[in-house]
Structure 1
Amino acid sequence: MIRKATESDAEAFCNIIRTSIIELCGPDHQGNKEILEDWLENKTVENCKAWIINENSNSFIAEKNGNIVGVCHIGHNGHLFLCYVLPSVKGLGIGGALLSVAERSVVNLDSKLIFLESTVTARGFYKHHGYIEKNKDNNDLNFSKLILP
């Protein structure tokens, strides 16, 4: 089940992000402690709470058997800030379901273009869901997707 995140979800929201980065994003941080610490620095409960209550964005959580297993956060301007799942549910379609709900949540706000900066780990995920990689000549992992109502 996917639902809008609430302020009371902030701790679980943060834990999902941190766990996913640590355990699933090895190709990005390559076990480098400095890179990992920099990446996790702003992934705090306080920041997650601020993201969830921000009136210019939408945050969603996915639940399985009563447990929060995935999170997604998108700006009303179409900027997908994050989409993470726990390692135990990777490949089960939960990330794709979160992504779809996030996309639909902003298309009615006149955001027809969804854009994001991906990790190396998630590159295939976004391509699989119809996102087009931009700037292939440099090492930026920028993707976009046109969404029609």
Structure 2
Amino acid sequence: MWTFRAAQPDEAAEACMVIRRSVEELCQADHEGDPAILEHWLANKTPKQVRAWIEAEPAGGFVGVGPAGIAGVGSLLPSGRIALNYVAPWARRQGVSTGLMRAMEQRAVEAGHTVCTLTSTITAHAFYLTYGYQDTGEPVRSFGGKPAFPMRRLVAPGS
């Protein structure tokens, strides 16, 4: 049902819409509907910026695609850090985030990494714990002063 592959620059507008809707609709625990937090969080989530991210790291941008189009967007930095993992509200709990994580971790392993890191939102923290990530210290402050959780997971071929 889902395909996970490299993002293409011409998909930036659709990918951006997925990211924005995910933040607005699924991350309520992180922004609590506060317009100032949302404005700050979404300021760089524009089609132009998403295209620039894809073009800057062509091996690190991922999309999860299903019958209705792009359902998830992920980004892996050359350092092995997962920078984005957003799912469309209509695709939540259908394996999209897990598929993106597998694709990004596989790319990290191919690049020679043995660890992936990320900073989780409140919304995604339980998912990452269940997926095998571990907290690596005290929470840090995110948009609007909300906690965000530095995490890591050992990755290896076939994990």
* TM-score, normalized by the shorter chain, greater than 0.5: yes
Q: Which moved more, 1:48-57 or 1:78-87?
A: 48-57
| Change over 3 Å in CA distance of 1:52–1:145 after alignment to 2 | same
- Which of 61, 64, 85 is the matching residue for 1:62? 64
Shift of residue 117, structure 1, vs aligned partner: 0.8
Structure 1 moving runs of 4+ over 4 Å: 137-140
Normalising by structure 2, we get a TM-score of 0.88
User: When the two structures are aligned, how many residues end up with a matched partner?
Assistant: 149
**Any residues of structure 2 matched to 1:22-101 within 5 Å, and which?**
22-55=24-57, 58-101=60-103
Cα separation, partners in 2 of 1:147 and 1:19, compared to 1, 3 Å: same
Q: CA deviation at 1:90?
A: 0.7
- 1:98-113 correspondence to structure 2 within 5 Å: 98-113=100-115
In structure 1, the gaps of 5 or more residues are: none
**SS of residue matched to 1:37:** helix
TM-score, normalised to structure 1, is 0.94
CA change 1:137–1:20 in 2 (3 A) is closer
TM-fit CA distance, 1:72: 0.5
In structure 1, what is the Cα distance between the partners aligned to 2:139 and 2:33? 26
Aligned-residue offset at 1:137: 6.7
Secondary structure of 2:122's counterpart equals coil
State the superposition RMSD in angstroms. 1.5
> 1:118/1:136 Cα in 2 relative to 1: closer, same or farther (>3 Å)?
same
